[in-house]
Amino acid sequence: MILAMEPVEDDAERPSKSARKRAAHALQKLGERLIALKEVELAALNLPETLADAVREARRINSRAGGARQRQYIGRLMREIDPEPIRAALDALRTNPVHNRSAKLS
């Protein structure tokens, strides 16, 4: 008995592999921006604890391969949350860094 395969409708709605890879790389780049932040700026973002810990761990890793794995892990963690508030906060920090704001408050 031969069964005819019916096309799966979910394939049309699902992004292509290339689109998923582009999104994953974009989240890794966002993670790299988090790694580059100062500790006070990182704390101001109120990230989920697992993500903040992963960013701190990435700063500590000296190995190139280990750092790459940690950045991939950060990207994976970021897929579980909405990255837009983080992206907006990073853009705001770029235009008005925390250390400049604290100096203005004094």
1 vs 52, residue with greater confidence: 52
Within-domain flag for 10 = no
Q: Which range marks the domain in which residue 72 is found?
A: 22-95
Within-domain flag for 7 = no
Q: What letter represents residue 89's amino acid? A: A
Within-domain flag for 9 = no
Average of pLDDT values for 9-34? 87
- Condensed to tens digits (0 to 9), the pLDDT of residues 61-77 reads 999 999 999 999 999 99
Within-domain flag for 4 = no
Residues 6 or more apart whose Cβ sits within 8 Å of residue 39: none
Q: Residue 76's domain is classified under what CATH number?
A: 1.10.60.30
Residue 38 is predicted with a pLDDT of 93
Within-domain flag for 79 = yes
If one counts the domains in the chain, the total is: 1
74 exposed, middle or buried (CB, 10 Å; 0-12, 13-18, 19+)?
A: buried
